Amino acid sequence: MTEPFSVLLPVYAGDDAAHFRRAVASATADQTLRPDEMVLVQDGPVGTEIARVLAEVTGEDAGALTAGVPARVLRIPRNVGLAAALDAGLRLCRHEIVARVDADDICRPERFAIQVPLVAAGRDVVGSAIQEFDDDEAHPGIVRRLPLEHAEIVRAARFTSPFNHPSVVYRRAAVRAAGGYRDLPLMEDYWLFVRMIAAGARVANVPEALVLYRVGAGAYRRRGGWRLLRSEVRLQGLMLRSGFTTGPQFFRNLAVRGGYRLVPQSIRRRAYRTWLRARGRSESPPGGDALA
């Protein structure tokens, strides 16, 4: 019998209710190894349709959508952003092993059966490859793979996010030991992973694409722009000051990753696809998880 675990899933007003409902079912009822609880974090006010899904998993018919997996909802009155929402949700999780799920992605049925035993056996973070899709999950596309072993992951982290954030399962104590999620718009996951590695976390990725990652119409737009560039500059400064990267790595990262943020969206999309295809669809482009 494996160690009990929680699923942590944040949702906010900008999410699609149908996608959210599918994400909940995929992380509970569809799993061959079902979680012991699901913690849903409502980050600020939400619309009627999302509220209806939240009521469905906690009301009189609770368990129908989740196949009996108990769900709790943490309602945050105002939108505080992903980092604060995840940190609050982590405090509510009852179990030491926590699986991250996003409100618009789909977990493959074998996901937790593969990842949770690896964390239970001693890893602090276990991620996986993810496979992109646009609208139809029956027709997935490019697979984003990352380094698998600890030493490779540590090396990669000095240039790119070493995990696909929607795919990770981690130990809550390891997240806490690194200081938890901290506010860094669109890059809070990368900064957390850097601090976890620096704190001695034992890390791994599995090669299987265990999450279907919904890219949608705005995926490439979100990978660029001045807001993300500001976060990029801040992240690189934090990594340098913490001693995780060297001076030459700092300037390389700013030149490559920062420059990528400012090219037109059409060029960014072509560059992203070319990068993956050039490597046999086996790596993420400069910036890692959603170029985070």
Query: Residue 292 — very low, low, confident or very high, per pLDDT cuts 50/70/90?
Result: very low
Q: What does the pLDDT average to over 160-177?
A: 96
User: Residue holding tokens 């599995």?
Assistant: 206
109, HSE (Cβ side, Cα atoms, 13 Å): 3
User: pTM here?
Assistant: 0.89
Q: What digits encode the pLDDT tens for the residues 34-78? A: 999 999 999 999 999 999 999 999 877 777 899 999 999 999 999
Q: Which two structure tokens, joined as six digits, stand for 271?
A: 């560059």
Residues 85 and 43 sit within 8 Å (Cβ to Cβ): yes
Give the span between the Cα atoms of 238 and 155, in whole angstroms: 17
pLDDT band for position 115 (cuts 50, 70, 90): very high
Amino acid type, 257? R
Instruction: Please tell me which residue, 95 or 215, carries the higher pLDDT value.
Output: 95
Rounded Cα gap, residues 108 and 26, in angstroms: 7
3-state secondary structure of 209: strand
Least confident interval from 130-144, 150-164, 251-265 = 251-265
Q: What are phi and psi of 239, to 5 degrees?
A: -65, -40
CA distances (Å), origin 247, targets 124, 242, 250, 251, 255 = 29, 12, 5, 6, 12
The domain locations on the chain are: 5-216, 218-278
- Nearest CA among 102, 89, 244, 263 for reference residue 181: 89
Give the C-alpha distances (Å, rounded to integers) separating 109 from 40, 49, 106, 142, 245: 20, 25, 9, 19, 37
Closest to 273 in 3D by CA, of 208, 229, 226, 219: 219
291, pLDDT greater than 60: no
Beta-carbon count within 10 A of 286 CB: 17
- Quick one: 5-216 is in which CATH superfamily? Spore Coat Polysaccharide Biosynthesis Protein SpsA; Chain A (3.90.550.10)
Write the DSSP string, 35-51.
-SEEEEEEES---HHHH
**Residue 185 is encoded by which pair of tokens?**
């718009």
The mean predicted confidence, pLDDT, of the chain is 89
Tokens linked to 204: 């791994």
Using one digit for the tens of pLDDT, what is the confidence trace for 236-273? Answer: 999 999 999 999 999 999 998 887 776 666 555 666 56
Q: Let me know the angle formed at the C-alpha of 121 by 116 and 126, rounded to the nearest 5 degrees.
A: 45
With cut-offs at 50, 70 and 90, classify the pLDDT of residue 275.
Answer: low
**Residues above pLDDT 70, as percent of the chain:** 85
Q: CA 232, 238, 243: angle at the middle one, nearest 5?
A: 130
**Structure token digits, residue 132:** 């992109």
